[in-house]
Amino acid sequence: MRPALTPKQWGEFPPNPDKYWQHDSCVPMESRERHYVAAVNLYGQPFGFDRSDVRELRSTADDANTVGGAWLESIADRIEALLPPEEP
């Protein structure tokens, strides 16, 4: 899954989601734009996600059965795509 923002966009944080926001509800946002806005709005929020959530999901997936493990890995991938790049 492709990250919502590039490392450069995260480096310019806080990015400006207004350029992606559709003020006319009749105009649908592109999927990539919704991904961007979701990442920006969840970042640093108490109801958002962080790297520890991804680690826990991947750890649990390793212990789960094949079907359940694949499902948890998929969730971890989607959450990770909303997070800024890891610090080196």
**pLDDT 10s digits, 48-86:** 999 999 999 998 988 877 678 888 999 999 999 999 988
Residue 25 has pLDDT above 80, yes or no: no
Give the Cβ contact number of residue 72 at 10 Å. 19
Predicted local distance difference test score (pLDDT) of residue 57:
92
Q: What whole-number percentage of the chain has pLDDT above 90?
A: 24
DSSP line for 38-50: HHHHHTT-TTS--
The reply to whether the predicted model has a pTM over 0.75 is no
